[in-house]
Amino acid sequence: MLTRKQHQLLLYIDDHLRRTGYSPSFDEMKDALELRSKSGIHRLISALEERGFLRRHHHRARALEVLRLPHMGTEAPAAVATTAPFVPAVLSQSQTELEGAFSEASIANDRQTVSIPLYGRIAAGLPIEAMQDDSDRIEVPVSLLGTGEHYALTVAGDSMIEAGILDGDIAIVRRRETAENGQIIVALIDGQEVTLKKLRRRGSMIALEAANREYETRIFPAERVHIQGRLVALFRQY
């Protein structure tokens, strides 16, 4: 399963190779995917290499080789190098278990849905417990959820845009108090501030990493950070 950005980049590279005979520059790829920095392109290319879709010839400039394309219908639709509108795809259960990876999902017409609470904006500066109000709920396809308790939060701000998480998106979170390095979590800092960030443990310290180079990584003693859940899916309405 590729994320939407990975899929977009792969098809853009393939189209550029077919039209010009050589791979696009990092600046061209950055502009095509509307990213703010080339570091996001480096991460996407590395992910495509790891999944066997792309090969990078390290001793040649601008030398990328597309090894295979996603099977149409099983990967996220493209929104680069095509005029067709992007239609968000619903994740399967196995896809939601991929560590550190998620894709956008539509609030789809699914006969098997479950209602979960929709809390306030995650940058509101309140612990999840303080935001609990079951008057606002959202219907989520069962196929997106595994075992355990889930809730939804509305994302505020642009600190995670290079991970494909935009202002106004709805984050689907599995409630839990532990997570692995590299996973995107809901963290409660000092019992007051809630934030959505990537988790990194450094000895007795915890680093909360943004996915936007304009934001600094925040580092805290482990006892100041309480994990309140792990991101498993993302909803975006157009």
Active site residues: 159, 197
Extended beta strands in the chain, E state? 54-56, 64-66, 104-105, 113-121, 137-141, 150-154, 170-174, 184-189, 193-202, 205-209, 218-221, 225-235
Question: What is the token pair recorded at 97?
Answer: 């278990």
CB atoms near residue 21 (< 10 Å)? 7
> Judging by DSSP bridges, how do beta strands 225-235 and 104-105 pair with one another?
parallel
Measure Cα distances from 62 to 101, 114, 151, 234 in Å. Answer: 27, 47, 44, 33
Q: What are the backbone dihedrals phi and psi of residue 42, each rounded to the nearest 5 degrees, phi first?
A: -55, -45
